[in-house]
Amino acid sequence: MKIHNFSAGPGILPAEVLQEAAQGVLNYQDTGLSLIEMSHRGPEFVDVMDQAIALVRDLLNLSNDYEVVFLQGGASLQFYMAPLNLLSSEGYAAYLDTGTWAANAIKEAKRVGRVEVIGSSKDKNYAYLPEFSVPSDADYLHYTSNNTIFGTQFQNIPDSPVPLVCDMSSDIFSKPIDASRFSMIYAGAQKNMGPAGTTLVIVKKDMLGKTGRNLPTMLDYQIHIEKESMFNTPPVFPIFVSMLTLKWLKNKGGLTWIGEVNRQKSDCFYSALDSSSLFTGTVEKSVRSWMNATFLLNDTRLEPTFEALLEERGISGLKGHRSVGGYRASMYNALPLESVQALVNAMRDFEQQHG
């Protein structure tokens, strides 16, 4: 039976990528060695790293004003590392509080320096995106483009008179964007790019070296840039799979292609949700996420019956985050429209039986 994987992360990867990755682990390019037992400084992996960085540049149309590195520690490390490298001791940073991960980013940035929260949707359990005005004297504005747990997403890049720093962990490479409007983008790999274990950081050169801090070596972007993401042993396998996924994306048609696919999946699911009498969405319609659709079964007594149907249909990973409950359909790039349709059919069949 086909399994329809709606896991919120680590998320689904393309089947052909998994097949190629598995072969690379067993016997990389007929060398008789696994990629994960080769030297990370050998020509085989150096080529993997070079390809991964080149694909990031190509897909996002990055100019030479930007550096691209693959690091470790997940986006959670970037919550601290970004302000450590970008926030001046005399200045302050503006942050938007739109969900759990945005709140965690604020918490860590406050360990570094002054932070002003210029907008928050916490008062309504992050069910909307707040209005805000960006101060012109902040060092930067930080926001989370897609809020994985609560299911909201910025549909447009905020206008800002100061540099934009964005956590794109759960919607990077999901649609065309104007990357030139950002001074820094970071993203954990495990949603749209690869397995957990590596984090993509894109940073504009003119943002670095201005804080006056004596930074710890492992937390200094400039060190990782100079060492081409190999100051220490990089996470070889996650970078390899990320490279394969980015290559798959480019060969399929890039961000224009995947943006249209993701729009179709989003329209398919939300159309069914809005016509349902048993299920209800949890966030304002205008800011619904294309990546993480959050919803509730109105009669919680029916949840065991619904979940039995999901299991019978091979629909996996739909439980909402433990902090909010309900259900969450994560529709990352590699999830086919066929899987969204399977979920919609299950919801409609369930409604016919219990509505």
Catalytic residue among 171, 175, 191, 220: 191
Annotated catalytic residue 319: no
Q: Which residue has 């020509």 as its token pair?
A: 43
Provide the pairing of β-strand 114-120 with 92-97: parallel
| Tokens, residue 38 | 């080769």
Please give the DSSP secondary-structure letter assigned to residue 319: B
Q: Is-contact 77 199, C-beta < 8 A?
A: yes
CA dist 296 and 88 (Å) reads 43
Please name which of 243, 199, 242 lies closest in space to residue 219, comparing C-alpha atoms. Answer: 199
Catalytic residue among 97, 139, 167, 171: 167
How many Cβ atoms sit within 10 Å of the Cβ of residue 131?
8
CB-based burial of residue 194 (10 Å sphere; 0-12 exposed, 13-18 middle, 19+ buried)?
A: buried
Annotated catalytic residue 122: no
Please name which of 116, 158, 168 lies closest in space to residue 137, comparing C-alpha atoms. Answer: 116
CB-based burial of residue 207 (10 Å sphere; 0-12 exposed, 13-18 middle, 19+ buried)?
A: buried
Annotated catalytic residue 159: no
Catalytic residue among 101, 171, 175, 220: 101
Which residues are known catalytic residues?
A: 101, 167, 191
